[in-house]
Chain A
Amino acid sequence: MDVTVEGMLSSSPSLFFNRLMSVYGPVVKIHPVVLASIGDSYERRNEGASRVIGTLLGTIDKHSVEVTNCFSVPHNESEDEVAVDMEFAKNMYELHKRVSPSEVIVGWYATGFEITEHSVLIHEYYSREATNPIHLTMDTALQSGKMNIRAYLSAQMGVLGKTVGVMFTPLSVKYKYYDTERIGIDLLERTRDAPNTTNGLTSDLCQVGGAAGRVQDMLATVLTYIEDVLSGKQTADNSVGRYLMDLVNKVPKITAEDFETMLNSNINDLLMVTYLSNLTQAQIALNEKIVVL
């Protein structure tokens, strides 16, 4: 994540603004389901359409806008004009409201790299639906090698009395996950690492083994860092040192006997429950057989 100033300037001017300018406006928190939806609707776009647009749903806070859902809206775009199916958008919003009544329209999204004049028109429509809509772009064509996910707010600019233009000011984008969402994303990430991009859901003990393996990897990284610092290859960082001390202090000091008793009682509980469930299963199987007699 070390980006030099030259690198920033050469990539694009708006990226430069994103890093250095103090951002005015709400923070945009996006859930991963929204991004997956946008990607999916881009893949299913009609022939000849170069980008897809859609509505963003979510909740508005004092300082942040949380985007939790979205749906795509069919539209036609050509050189001179753009047509958006407003009826469809209204209908879909009604249907979605039935399921989650707390979600409101917070803005709209478009795939693609730049903001065109058509976007201004579409943005105007959305400002009628929601106060201060945000505009999200996602570069699904990967023009710059990355999927730039950016959010904008529109602001009036120009000289009073003369032609007024619209400027899109960038907002900072954060990703918000529910706990279960994060677990889902972990699974999807593991899917992508598998050779033929498919993955079955593994059985229980394998999962524990996998999690233990991951912790082991993390410990190995920390150990290599410590050894490097000790041998002088890397300069010691005080904050990292403090974290390490926290880590070591967190390991609880238990005497061997206490630990034995805790362990044994837990194991006893688990074994008893296993025995009971096996007993119950045998019982119902027996019951079946007797009834059928």
Chain B
Amino acid sequence: MATPTLDSPVKQIQIEGLVVLKMIKHYQEEGQGSEVVQGVLLGLVVEDRLEITNCFPFPQHTEDDADFDEVQYQMEMMRSLRHVNIDHLHVGWYQSTYYGSFVSRALLDSQFSYQHAIEESVVLIYDPIKTAQGSLSLKAYRLTPKLMEICKEKDFSAEGLKKAMIGFEHMFEEVPIVIKNSHLINVLMWELEEKCTVADKHELLNLSSSNHLEKSLQLLMDRVDDMSQDIVKYNTYSRNLSKQQQQKHQYIQRRQQENAQRQTRGETPLPEEDVSKMFKPPQPPPRMDTLLIAGQINNYCQNVKEFTSQNLGKLFMAEALQGHNS
């Protein structure tokens, strides 16, 4: 899913600690359950780096006032932030994810509209469950130029995708993230470390894995089911298509035979009917969904492999310690 291209305008992302803290807090307070929380990233572009200096959250879509104007909220927020000298340049958006399931049509559309308007924008995916297991999980993605082309044409048919030679690995590209803090914030960190009495919990060294594995496998199974349904659809389509081709050929042959017979008998040949109108070709199924599902499956598999490699390491460590004792 992550093939870095060298010709993209953004090669690295620099995030301030404040943005990280705000995203964590937003999810913690408003995002319990499998609801995704979203927000806007603000910052500026410096050479080939995208610096993200601030962010603000978006209210949930499950509001009962249907006349809630998102655009207006955004405009007002950015205007107000400009008054206090916060960078008001829109550079992307962030979203939380549940066990890594974020490859969806909605994400694609949003990111496409962002990237179309602002070339350097990115989507930051924050995984709170992985973070709770011990290490901050934050990834930045952009759409590859190839995918941008396709979205612009809105041509999601099989021929279009075949022409562009897009595989599920070429949909998104991952941009490396670097965290940078100003010196004042660093001083604050020193102070907090001194004063804070929260004990270290070491979740990273936790040995239990079955819960996480179960959920990941469940999601993977669901996606694989979707995929197989899609494949069945595609198979039926190609079978129908080939059957139709056969029927067409047979019809044309019969026609020619009849015409030949009539000619020998001296009658006028039957008019050539429009064959294509008689045999309407079936609709090819859209390939975009398949691509998305494949991308999502790939993502799940990557996550599972990362998780298992960590756990294997921990298990071997435990074995070494136990061997030491006995």
Contacts and interface: CB of A to CB of B under 8 A. Distances in A.
B2 interface: no
Interface in A147-191: 147, 149, 175, 177-185, 187-189, 191
A270 interface: yes
Interface in B120-161: 128, 131-132, 134-138, 158
Contacts of B312: 267, 270
Contacts of B24: 33, 178, 180-181, 184
A198 B188 contact: no
Given A147-B187, A180-B131, A263 B77 contact: no
Contact of B76 (A45, A95, A149): A95
A9 interface: no
B308 A100 contact: no
A267 B185 contact: no
B28 A204 contact: no
B54 interface: yes
Interface stretch (A11-19, A120-128, A238-246, A283-291): A283-291
Interface in B3-27: 14, 16-18, 20-22, 24-27
A192 B181 contact: yes
B73 to A, nearest CB: 7
A259 interface: yes
Nearest to A203: B306
B186 A197 contact: yes
B313 A208 contact: yes
A133 B163 CA distance: 64
Name which of B134, B176, B182, B306 has the most chain A CB atoms within 10 A of its CB.
Answer: B134
A74 B85 CA distance: 9
Interface stretch (B195-203, B240-248, B263-271): B195-203
A177 B305 contact: no
A88 B80 contact: yes
Interface in A78-107: 85, 88, 91-92, 95, 98-100, 102
B135 A35 contact: no
A269 interface: yes
Contacts of A207: 134-135, 204, 310
Contacts of B27: 180
B192 A40 contact: no
A44 interface: yes
A277 B186 CA distance: 41
A78 B73 CA distance: 33
Contacts of B90: none
A243 B186 CA distance: 33
Contacts of B167: 285, 288
A192 B186 contact: yes
A268 to B, nearest CB: 11
B231 A273 contact: no
Contacts of A192: 181, 186, 189-190
B45 interface: no
A208 B204 contact: yes
Given A188-B179, A192-B181, A201-B136, A37 B76 contact: no
Nearest to B185: A39
A205 B313 contact: yes
B300 interface: yes
Nearest to B139: A201
Nearest to A89: B80
B195 A175 contact: yes
Interface stretch (B104-112, B253-261, B274-282, B316-324): B316-324
Given A35-B188, A188-B20, A200-B177, A270 B182 contact: no
A208 B181 contact: no
Name which of B86, B189, B201, B326 has the most chain A CB atoms within 10 A of its CB.
Answer: B189
Nearest to B23: A184
Contacts of B232: none
B297 interface: yes
B77 A95 contact: yes
B291 to A, nearest CB: 8
Nearest to B57: A99
B234 interface: yes
B196 A175 contact: yes
B174 to A, nearest CB: 11
Given A184-B17, A191-B181, A281-B298, 15 more contacts: A36-B18, A40-B54, A68-B25, A68-B29, A98-B73, A178-B28, A179-B203, A198-B14, A198-B180, A200-B178, A201-B137, A271-B308, A277-B304, A281-B297, A288-B168
Interface of B: 14, 16-18, 20-22, 24-30, 53-54, 57-59, 73, 76-77, 80, 83-86, 128, 131-132, 134-138, 158, 162, 165, 167-168, 176-193, 195-196, 198, 200-205, 207, 209-210, 213, 217, 220, 224, 227, 231, 234, 287, 290, 294, 297-298, 300-301, 304-315, 317-319, 322, 325-326
30 contacts: A33-B21, A39-B184, A39-B185, A43-B184, A73-B84, A95-B76, A98-B59, A99-B26, A100-B30, A142-B187, A147-B191, A178-B24, A179-B132, A181-B28, A182-B201, A188-B185, A189-B189, A191-B181, A199-B180, A200-B176, A200-B179, A201-B136, A204-B307, A207-B204, A208-B317, A270-B213, A270-B311, A278-B301, A280-B297, A285-B167
